[in-house]
């Protein structure tokens, strides 16, 4: 994958010392393709464009912390794509053939970036490239942070004394437009953004681009929709029981942590699970049993993962063909598994013992090892 550089715009963003000081562009430089080939930036950036283009991205990330996302231009109903200001700006950058033609849209982009909250100082690069041999045009927007006491900014001609020491590619933020679905197939409705950081400011500086819901959010909405349908089926009339059930669903939706509700029969849960997994096969199922964490696919429920109760205590049964251990060795790795019937009998006996045991209320009655 070979990208040819048509032009590159270089902006050094700096924040003066002192609280409340506004960030500004201390230096800017506009390079042609030939000037880029002779510049100090080439050894650092060569290979980065192909790496960004090949970076995989999901239509709906598993979590909001996913570093690579697809952004979609926000459109008002009945308005064309050209009405979106961010789309129009990126199209102007794509159409600019020379550094001189890129100057105005690049300045507009930088000013939009500086107005974003939590922006850090560093270098912002805007690059127009062509992918050979297809001659498809792309715009890359790159943000590089300088490492303290290693970057030596000189003047407008040499820019950086030692690029390899000054810029860290490891945490480089990037935006690529249009989104390359595969070589020869581009999606003009989406941009691909990469920001491996908890601060989301690089997503925010283009305010008319929205990012998709995470897989977790999609599954949650689907579950709540199915729950409301179930309530309407059980309580067809607007009774107090129905209103109470609807309030419980809203409380569940707003709660960050929830306990097992024990409201639906197993068959109802399996039907809802099948509906969700047909649309989202990679939907995850994560929960804690006391201090133990369980992580599986939602599709595993009822097949490879089972939840039961024994004398009021929860039992989670995991089923599979292979049992693997990682890192530190433990005695459990040498265990010869008991039969399932033996385990069930032991669990039931232990649960009965817990139920019959008296409650310890006096600290002096505690065993000596406590």
pLDDT digits (tens, 9 = 90+) for 74-121: 998 889 999 999 999 999 999 999 999 999 999 999 999 998 887 877
Mean pLDDT lowest among 29-33, 169-173, 295-299:
169-173
* Helix H or strand E segment including 187: strand 185-187
Distance between CA atoms of residues 251 and 339, nearest Å: 41
pLDDT of residue 370: 46
Question: What's the pTM?
Answer: 0.70
Range 332-358 average pLDDT: 84
Distance between CA atoms of residues 333 and 323, nearest Å: 9
In sequence order, what are the residues at sequence separation of 6 or more whose Cβ sits closer than 8 angstroms to the Cβ of residue 255? Answer: none
Q: Check pLDDT > 70 for residue 159.
A: no
CA-CA-CA-CA torsion sign (202, 183, 63, 77): positive
Pairing of strands 313-318, 305-310: antiparallel
Band (150; pLDDT cuts 50, 70, 90): low
CA atoms within 13 A on the CB side of 182: 0
Distance between CA atoms of residues 251 and 201, nearest Å: 31
Range 321-336 average pLDDT: 90
Task: Report which of 202, 211, 248 is spatially closest to residue 61, judged by C-alpha positions.
Answer: 211
Distance between CA atoms of residues 91 and 113, nearest Å: 17
Length of the chain measured in residues: 370
Pairing of strands 190-194, 173-177: antiparallel
Band (312; pLDDT cuts 50, 70, 90): confident
Region at 113 (left for phi over 0; alpha for psi -120 to 50; beta for the rest) = alpha
Task: Report which of 344, 346, 342, 351 is spatially closest to residue 311, judged by C-alpha positions.
Answer: 351
Task: Report which of 9, 2, 1 is spatially closest to residue 140, judged by C-alpha positions.
Answer: 9
- Per the prediction, the chain carries an average pLDDT of 85
pLDDT of residue 166: 53
Range 32-55 average pLDDT: 90
Distance between CA atoms of residues 284 and 277, nearest Å: 10
For residue 178, whether the previous peptide bond is cis, meaning omega lies within 30 degrees of 0, is yes
pLDDT of residue 163: 47
Task: Please write the tens of the pLDDT for every residue from 262-303.
Answer: 888 899 899 989 988 988 888 899 999 999 999 999 999 999
Number of Cβ atoms within 10 Å of the Cβ of 357 = 8
Distance between CA atoms of residues 142 and 359, nearest Å: 63
């Amino acid at each position: 994958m070979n990208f040819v550089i048509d032009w590159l715009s270089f902006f050094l963003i700096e924040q003066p010392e002192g609280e409340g000081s506004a960030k500004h562009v201390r230096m800017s430089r506009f390079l042609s393709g030939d000037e880029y080939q002779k510049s100090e930036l080439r050894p650092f950036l060569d290979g980065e464009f192909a790496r960004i283009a090949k970076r995989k991205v999901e239509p709906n990330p598993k979590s909001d912390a996913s570093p690579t996302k697809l952004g979609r231009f926000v459109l008002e109903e009945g308005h064309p794509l050209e009405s979106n200001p961010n789309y129009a700006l990126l199209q102007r950058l794509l159409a600019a053939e020379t550094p001189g033609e890129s100057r105005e849209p690049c300045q507009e982009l930088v000013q939009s970036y500086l107005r974003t909250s939590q922006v850090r100082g560093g270098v912002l690069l805007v690059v127009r490239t062509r992918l050979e041999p297809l001659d498809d045009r792309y715009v890359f927007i790159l943000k590089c942070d300088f490492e303290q006491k290693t970057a030596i900014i000189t003047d407008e001609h040499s820019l950086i004394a030692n690029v390899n020491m000054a810029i860290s590619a490891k945490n480089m933020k990037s935006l690529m437009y249009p989104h390359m679905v595969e070589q020869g197939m581009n999606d003009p409705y989406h941009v691909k953004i990469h920001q491996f950081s908890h601060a989301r400011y690089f997503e925010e500086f283009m305010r008319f681009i929205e990012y998709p819901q995470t897989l977790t959010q999609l599954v949650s909405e689907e579950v709540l929709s199915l729950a409301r349908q179930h309530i309407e089926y059980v309580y067809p009339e607007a009774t107090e029981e129905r209103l109470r059930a609807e309030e419980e669903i809203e409380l569940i939706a707003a709660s960050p942590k929830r306990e097992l509700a024990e409201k639906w029969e197993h068959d109802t849960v399996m039907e809802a699970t099948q509906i969700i997994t047909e649309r989202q096969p990679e939907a995850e199922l994560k929960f804690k049993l006391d201090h133990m964490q369980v992580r599986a696919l939602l599709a595993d429920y009822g097949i490879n993962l089972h939840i039961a109760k024994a004398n009021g205590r929860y039992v989670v049964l995991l089923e599979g063909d292979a049992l693997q251990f990682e890192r530190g060795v433990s005695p459990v790795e040498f265990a010869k598994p008991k039969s399932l019937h033996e385990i069930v009998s032991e669990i039931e006996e232990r649960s009965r013992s817990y139920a019959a045991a008296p409650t310890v209320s006096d600290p002096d009655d505690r065993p000596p090892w406590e």
